Every structure is written in structure tokens, then in C-alpha cells.
Structure 1
Amino acid sequence: MDDLKRRLLQRIIRTMPTQMLKTTLSKWARLNIEQQESLDFTQPKFLLTDQLLALCGESGLGVKHITELEMIYIIDNPNQRLWHAYQLLEAGDDAHSVEVTNFKEQFKVHLTELIRHVSIKIKKHTDEAVWIRIAWGDRSSRPNHLKPTYVVHHLQTPYVFVTNLTSKTMPLLSQALVMATRYSSMKDANLSGRNLSAVRDLLMKQFQQVFPSKHLQPLGKKNQINSNPQIEREQDEQSETRLQIACEAFGGGTLPELQKAIYTLETKLKDNTNKIMTEREQPFRCVVTFKSTNILESLRHSAMTGIASTPVTPMLSSISQKGRNHFLITDKGPGPQRKL
């Protein structure tokens, strides 16, 4: 157990800047003021780990207390992980009346019935989100606290955000969640990203959406020397149209910071000059990934400036309109049609 405590502390301390560690320890509140002030944050982190371990021993703190420290850090810094979005389906009559205490009890009961060795910690955040930390074990081994799953769920919504979930534990989590939330099933929302707020805002449509309008807003006046009034008017009208189309496709104002969009192609190759590929039974497969610090902002800017053609293809506009960034493109009938 002491070795596990050391490894957990080492991982937490290694990933945190010193000033953030001070703040997190203060929020943790498991060490008294005197113990916190005795910590030397200028020493190497392996020595700081030893000092913290000694203080935990003095205070009788174990693994469950150190996982609280990790949870505080993850809640305050969620963008250190890759989050996957899921959607709960077919709400029961009492789904919208589930409150935190009942959810906690039901989730723990159902998950522990499904798997014997599991450690569950649930905390309600200030933004009303319920955070769940799950350390998974199996029939013969204790929960692995070094590879926990984190789950974020806003009660009274059908959305769940998960990080570090394996295919083996996915059915267990899904069953426990749908029973605790009074839904019938849960499906992959085909949306993921490192910015948890962006993934949440995109899925919940919590950004400025722009709807089609025949009355375009005039652009600001441009300072042009020796400009032709007719050319200037035509350019302004084209710019206004592109701006309207771009905002209708991707949204207006500040957009969620999504870093990538992934398109998986599974289709027959249509090229009469390449019989080897066209006659094969298996579909042609490839993956195309768009990456940017803010993919939606980049795509909107491309459409606004004329770099990308308008109207915007549904394969791109579906990112914001459908709240997805993973798409499967397949054959649909005899023609080169796309399925989104």
C-alpha cells in the first residue's frame, strides 16, 4: 500500500507546476496549516514526494485520500486528458427528477453489483456537474488506481463525458449509468476532444448559432484609395454573403475550441483504370483528419475569406450542426453518395 501511495503521489506531483500544487494541497485540506507551511517546494520533486508521504503518514492518510487530491487536480485541469462524449437515450418518466444524492447511491449500488473489485468516488462540482472517479479491478485483482476512468455528467441532461475508458469496462459503466439516470441505453456521440468545455458546449449547442436570413448585416466601411464604387459594392455583397453562410454553417461569435475532425472512408474505389482495386470485395479504407488549435474557427475563416467554396459541404458543417467530429463515409446505393 505504501508503494501505491508513493506512485500516486509521484504521478500527481510530476504533472503539476509548483504553484498549482500549493493551491491544490490547500483545497485538499487534509494537511493542517503547519504541515503545509513545512513543505519545501524548492526541492526536487522526488524529495517533495518523500516529504508529503511522511506528512500523510503522520495524519493517517491512505490511498483513498490521495485519490481525492488527484480528483481535485483533474477537476480543475480537465484539458490534460482526451474526453469522449456519449448520449443517454429514451428517458424514463422520472429521469428529469433524479437528484445528486439518489444518483450517487444508485450508481454505486449498480456498479458494485456488476463488478466486485471497484473503487468509486463521486463529487459534485460548482458548475452542477457530477464528477466520478472509477478505479477498476476484476475478479482476482484490486482496483488499479493508477489508471482510473473519469466520468462527467450534468444531471437532467442526456450527456456523459468520459476519459480513459476501455472496451472491457464500457458495458459496465453504460449499464450503471442508464440505471442510475433512469434512461434505457447509452450510445457513442462520435465527439471527442481535449477541451472538455468545448466538447460539452458543442454537444449541448451552448454557442451562438446563426440561422438563414435574407437580410444580411452590412460590413464595416473599408478605407480604399481610388476604388471603383461598383466593384466595391459587389465585393461587399460577396463578403456579406460568405460571412452569413460561414456563420450559418459553423456558428457566430466565439466557437468551441475543438482540435480535430476525423473522416473515415469505407467505400468501393470507382476507377475503371484500376481493376485491382475496383474488383476487390473489401471496401477501400482511409482516414482523413483535419487539425487546428480551433478547427471550427479555421473552417469558418476559410469560408468567410473565400479560401473554401460556399455553400459549405455538409461533411464540414455537420461538425457544429450535429455536434460530432467523427464521421464514417460509406457507399449508399450505386452512386458515390455520402452517409454522415
Structure 2
Amino acid sequence: MDDSIKRLLQRIIKRIPFEMLETTLEKWGRLTEAQRNSLDFTQSKWALTERLLAICEENEWSIKSITDLEMIYIIENPNLGMWNAFQLLDPDEGAHSVDLLQFKKQFKSHLSELIRHVSVKIKKHTDEAVWIRIAWGDNFSRPNHLKPTYVVHHLQTPYVFMTSLNSKLKPLLSQALILSTKHQTIKDANLRGRNLSSIRDLLMRQYQQEFPTKYPSPLAEKNQTLSNRHIEAEHAQAAANRHRMACEAFGRGTLPQLQSAVYKLETKFRDHTNKTMTEREEPFRCVVKFTSTNLLESFRHCASSGIASTPVSPLLSSVPSKGRNYFVVTDNGPGPTQLSQSQN
């Protein structure tokens, strides 16, 4: 058995959590009934790996068979890496009629013309997403299957999601995608995160947003004085207004899970007590990054609870409204600092 096949199988088995290993192997479908029965899942993962290596050698599995196992695991568990969103622009006349067979043929052909040694595997998932696994080589070395790039694309949409892509290889992949989807160019959508479904739903506007118009005030308790009822009514109205404005900015339903938002500031320094910085001709540059396990939920809570001021600043509300979490903030003339449309 080729050492590269052995290393890849060992790496994949190591990556799959023990409690998911049996079901993943069943979905793989490469093991005979006798071989499945020979696997003892009460043993250690090391012992199971050794048995699978023996079966691999017995069946003379190719690298293609092993990468099938990896793709099954990655497709079922997509939130293992950092996904970057891109948008295809200027579609040709036939862009909306590209089917899966045509896309697969064109993509493999174009990428093979751009780089001599490359391995491409394409699968269509049950949610109609096309998953692409790319193992890169170069003109002199074979593809490295230990460091593949994954790409997800919904046909007839302009959106593409990529993970584990070397910047040197990005132009090659971009050109192959442009040609195979019949578009003119591709740009960074300035949206990235670990939850693939969340950044997809945010970019494609597929998550449910509810914008309620009325919020009932809490019932007043009995035996309260008139002044207390007035104060509590005023507080309740203020809380309802904050909640309304927070929901108008972010929506009322379950929000996509983003982990970060980055703001690159290129603005004038404003502080009348610091003339040295204020009078500089060069803009003040810094980067502000917000992080959370669910950033949009955190923003909404801060606005609703009064931690952040309302109406919600465009600096925050632009994340869901523009479908981005990377911004460049510049001075647009003499007015207040605004969000720029500059790209990364």
C-alpha cells in the first residue's frame, strides 16, 4: 500500500470523533459485511485504525476511495474550518443554465489547464450544494491530499464559499470558477466565519427575520401608587422602543451565528486636547474586532438592553444588512465617519 494512502487514512480516522466513527464508515459503504463485523468499537481508536489499514491493503483501495471517506465527514461536519465567502459577478448569457455535469466537466478541465498536478473530487449534497475537494500539487510534485481546499457552491447562485485556500492558489481557483460558471469576475464578499450555514444564510438572505410593530407593555401590579405606575410605564415604553429598534436592525428570529466582525479604521484623529494627532495629514489607522460565539445575537441584546445606544449604529447594523463582517471605515468629506465600500 502506498505510504501516502496510509498517512491519509490514518489522518482521517484520527480526525473523526470516536463516537461518530461507526456511522461515518457505514455511510462510506466501502466495507463488506464481514469487514464491518470484524471491527470492534470497544477497542481503542489506535487498534481500529490498524484494522482499517489492514482492510485497506486487502481491498487495494485507491486514494480516491480514501478521499470519499474524508468528504463524507467534512460535508456532515462543515464547521471545522474558517470559511470565506466570494461573489461571482457579471454573468454571461448561459450562466443560469449551467447544470452539475457541465460544471464538473468544465471546472476540472479548466483547473487542469492552469496547474499540471491537481486532484479534484466533486459531490452534490442533499441540500443541492456542490462540494469540491481540491488537492494541490504543482508542475513537479503530486497533489498533497493532506492539505486539501474545500469549495461549496450552489449552482445558479453567484455565491462561493472556500476554506483552507493558499493565497498563491486563489487566482487559479478563481479563474476556474469564473469560466465554469460563465461569469466575468469574482470578488471577496468580506464575510467569513466558522459556521458555513450561517454565513451562507446571511449572504443569501435565507434566514427568517421578523419585524414586529407592537410590543405589549407589562401589566401593572395591584396596590401600586400612581407615581410608581407612571415611572414603570415610562421605563417599559423605553425598553419596548429599544427592543423594537434592535429587532429592526437585526431581526427578531434566530440569527446566523457569526463569530467576529472586523472594522479597519482609516479616519482623522479627533481630540481637541491632542493637537499633534489631530493636525496630522495622514489618517489615523487601527483595527477594531468584535468577537462572540454568536455576534449578531450579542449586538441585538446590547441594543435591546440599553448597553449599546439606539438607534443602532450603521457600524453594527451593516453586518446583517450588507451581509458582511469586514469593513473599512473612512472619512467621507467633512461629515461624520461613515462605512466605506472599499474592499479588503
1:135: which partner in 2? Answer: 135
The whole-number CA distance in structure 1 between the counterparts of 2:318 and 2:143 is 40
Show structure 2 runs of 5+ residues with no match: none
The whole-number CA distance in structure 1 between the counterparts of 2:315 and 2:117 is 44
1:327: which partner in 2? Answer: 327
2:214 corresponds to 1:216? yes
DSSP-derived class of the 1:79 partner: coil
Aligned residues: 338
TM score, norm. by length of structure 2: 0.91
DSSP-derived class of the 2:134 partner: strand
The whole-number CA distance in structure 2 between the counterparts of 1:11 and 1:285 is 43
The whole-number CA distance in structure 2 between the counterparts of 1:88 and 1:332 is 28
1:27: which partner in 2? Answer: 27
Matches within 5 A, 1:198-277: 198-210=198-210, 215-219=213-217, 221=219, 226=224, 228-271=228-271, 274=274, 277=277
Q: Give the counterpart letter for 1:306 in structure 2.
A: G
The whole-number CA distance in structure 1 between the counterparts of 2:150 and 2:20 is 21
Matches within 5 A, 1:155-194: 155-194=155-194
- Deviation of residue 241 (structure 1)? 1.5
Residue by residue over 1:168-194, the C-alpha shift from the partner in whole angstroms, topping out at 9 and shown as x without a partner, is: 111111111111111111110111111
TM score, norm. by length of structure 1: 0.92
- Deviation of residue 87 (structure 1)? 0.6
Change (3 A) 1:109 1:220: farther
- Contact 1:207–1:251 (CA<8 Å) still a contact in 2? no
The whole-number CA distance in structure 1 between the counterparts of 2:223 and 2:304 is 23
The whole-number CA distance in structure 2 between the counterparts of 1:138 and 1:220 is 67
1:65: which partner in 2? Answer: 65
DSSP-derived class of the 1:80 partner: coil
The whole-number CA distance in structure 2 between the counterparts of 1:281 and 1:43 is 68
2:122: which partner in 1? Answer: 122
The whole-number CA distance in structure 2 between the counterparts of 1:79 and 1:253 is 22
Identity %: 63
- Contact 1:87–1:189 (CA<8 Å) still a contact in 2? yes
Show structure 1 runs of 5+ residues with no match: none
Q: Give the counterpart letter for 2:194 in structure 1.
A: R
The whole-number CA distance in structure 2 between the counterparts of 1:222 and 1:171 is 64
2:55: which partner in 1? Answer: 55
2:285: which partner in 1? Answer: 285
Aligned-CA RMSD value: 2.1
Segment of structure 1 superposing worse, 218-227 or 78-87 = 218-227
Residue by residue over 1:124-161, the C-alpha shift from the partner in whole angstroms, topping out at 9 and shown as x without a partner, is: 00000000000011111111111100000011111111
Segment of structure 1 superposing worse, 296-305 or 69-78 = 296-305
The whole-number CA distance in structure 2 between the counterparts of 1:157 and 1:220 is 45
Residue by residue over 1:85-126, the C-alpha shift from the partner in whole angstroms, topping out at 9 and shown as x without a partner, is: 111111222211111111111111111111111000000000
2:88 corresponds to 1:92? no
DSSP-derived class of the 1:339 partner: strand
